[in-house]
Structure 1
Amino acid sequence: MEKRTHILLVDDEENILEPLDHYLKSQGLETSLARDAKSALELIKKLPIDLAVLDIMLGQSDGLELCRDIQHVKPMPVIFLSGRAEDTERIIGLELGADDYLAKPFNPRELLARIRAVLRRYASPATASHDEKLKIGPWQLDVSNQELMQKDGSRLELSTGETRLLYVFLSHPDMVLSRDELLKMTQGRQTNPFDRSIDNYVSRLRKKIESDPSNPIHIKTYWGGGYAFNSKGNLGSC
């Protein structure tokens, strides 16, 4: 039997959670429900969740903080729901790694369309060859396990977004790629003037692979251009 897509719904409002659960199940999706951050993380640890839909305001909890925790526990696509259509909140959510943002009230059909669009992006970017291992110098990127093997045999764990971005960089060494190009190649979507998600992922990668993230030698910034991976910088020296 084909595995059904499993969606985690996290919201403390019953009048939203229950009807949404019923609708998504009627459309062939499998769902799990959580009413707070603690319950959501417990479900993520034990279930094969494909995507999480999070309310930004969860009573005493913070959906933004939950998004950050999810990416550390088990990286996955995230769509935010919010009762406020404020740019600042949306921008912060995107910077934390969210893939989309939907303001309440919303039509369940629109959420379903966005869920499917996000999952399509995750199934078809440059990293779709899950068994591929990309090697550069003494380092090897293991796409399926989201790890970067170091020259001493140890493995550096990466998030989904970090893996996708590093894959694109290693596949296009020394090529200056704009933020628009990187976003399209890693997530299959276009950027907007407030979208800083690529900058955020670059910053995370630099903290992991650069000896001095404030003076990077591997991922170089080209002002007015974008970023490029320096193939002459020996990753094994990190």
Structure 2
Amino acid sequence: MNPLAAPTPIPEILLVEDDVELRREMAAYLRDNDHLVHEAGDAASARKIMAERAIQVAVLDINLPGEDGLSLCRSLAGDGGPAILMLTALGDPIDRILGLELGADDYVVKPIMPRELLARVKAMLRRRPPGPAARKTNIYRFADFRLDLAARQLRAPNGAVLLLTRSELAILSALLDRDRQVVPRDELIALLRGDETEEVGRAVDLHISRLRRKIQDQTDRELIRTYRGVGYMLDARVLAE
């Protein structure tokens, strides 16, 4: 081991849950598995932590006192913030759908085993876009759009900046890497979670729909094409800066 090599940074996780006992149990398990965990019992405390720390994954309970988790999710996703994992109540699919539509990258139904929470967090960290050293470029152009991977921003032909969630960015990056080639749906499912459950498949379709809508609102071209039963393709020439 090179003694001069820079140490691997410890992932910073924000856990927002008003149930103190549950929050402490989850936080302790994540810390025992080499994660730096910040705890918050409400949205105001979470925002303060977000302003001071480089949070990579935010785990948000929906039912928070005062401002709820869905509102917090919307603002964090819109600000180009961390990957977001929503904690939802059992048997409440509407909350899960709303969370994904507002920018959440994943969701899990409570009660959750700490081991499963750790697995979800690790999966979200693995699918974060590669840093500058892992890619030849962080800038892509297609159909007069400009994607900045480092800033997680997509600039439209008219100059408008479109903020993308982690999942939307991961999907768009996969489409850009396959210049006018179909990316299998199963590959996108594996990219987002690593398994092929029916719920993840629906989440992929929802993320594709939201990404397509953001792009389609800025151009008259149909850039993301669906090949039913196969996958998706970005129908544009891709240039790397």
The two structures have a TM-score, normalised by structure 1, of: 0.75
The code of the aligned residue for 1:230 comes to D
Kindly, what percent of the aligned residue pairs are identical?
34
Within-5 A mapping of 1:62-101 = 62-101=68-107
Counterpart residue identity of residue 158, structure 1: L
Q: Does 1:230 align with 2:235?
A: yes
Task: Work out whether 1:57 is the aligned partner of 2:52.
Answer: no
Match of 2:3 in 1: none
Q: Give, as a single letter, the amino acid of the residue that structure 2 aligns with 1:165.
A: I
Matched, 1:148 2:159: no
1:162 to 158, 161, 168: 168
1:34 matched to 2:40? The reply is yes
For structure 1, list consecutive stretches of 5 or more residues without a partner in the other structure. 234-238
In 1, distance between residues paired with 2:129 and 2:235? Answer: 28
Contact kept? 1:130, 1:143, Cα under 8 Å: no
Distance in 1 between residues matched to 2:182 and 2:167, nearest whole Å: 19
Aligned equivalent of 1:174: 180
Identify which of 183, 190, 193 aligns with 1:184: 190
Partner of 2:198: 193
Q: Conserved in 1, the CA contact under 8 Å of 2:174 and 2:183? A: no
Query: Alpha-carbon deviation of 1:85?
Result: 4.6
2:124 is matched with which residue?
Answer: 118
Q: Hey, what does 1:4 align to over in structure 2?
A: 10
Amino acid at match of 2:113: N
Aligned to 2:222: 217
- Structure 2 unaligned spans of 5+: 1-6
Change (3 A) 1:212 1:184: same
1:209, distance to aligned residue in structure 2 (A) = 2.9
Distance 1:82 1:211 in 2: 30
Shift of the alpha carbon at 1:84? 1.8
C-alpha RMSD of matched pairs (Å)? 3.3
The total of aligned residue pairs comes to: 228
- Contact kept, 8 Å, 1:179 with 1:191, in 2: the verdict is no
| Cα drift, residue 71 of structure 1 | 0.6
2 CA distance for matches of 1:232 and 1:74?
A: 26
Give the TM-score normalised by the residue count of structure 2: 0.75
Deviation, 1:64, is 2.6
Highest RCO, 1 vs 2 (Cα 8 Å, sep ≥ 6): 2
**Counterpart Cα distance in 2 of 1:58 and 1:14:** 12
Distance in 1 (alpha carbons) for counterparts of 2:194 and 2:54: 25
Q: Does the C-alpha gap of structure 1 residues 131 and 173 become closer, same or farther in structure 2, counting only changes over 3 Å?
A: closer
Q: 2:113 maps to what in 1? A: 107
Q: Is the 8 A contact 1:130 1:144 kept in 2?
A: no
Counterpart contact for 2:13–2:57, Cα < 8 Å = yes
Moved over 6 A (4+): none
Which moves more between the two structures, 82-91 or 68-77? 82-91
Offset at 1:217? 2.1
- Give the secondary structure class of the aligned counterpart of 1:122: coil
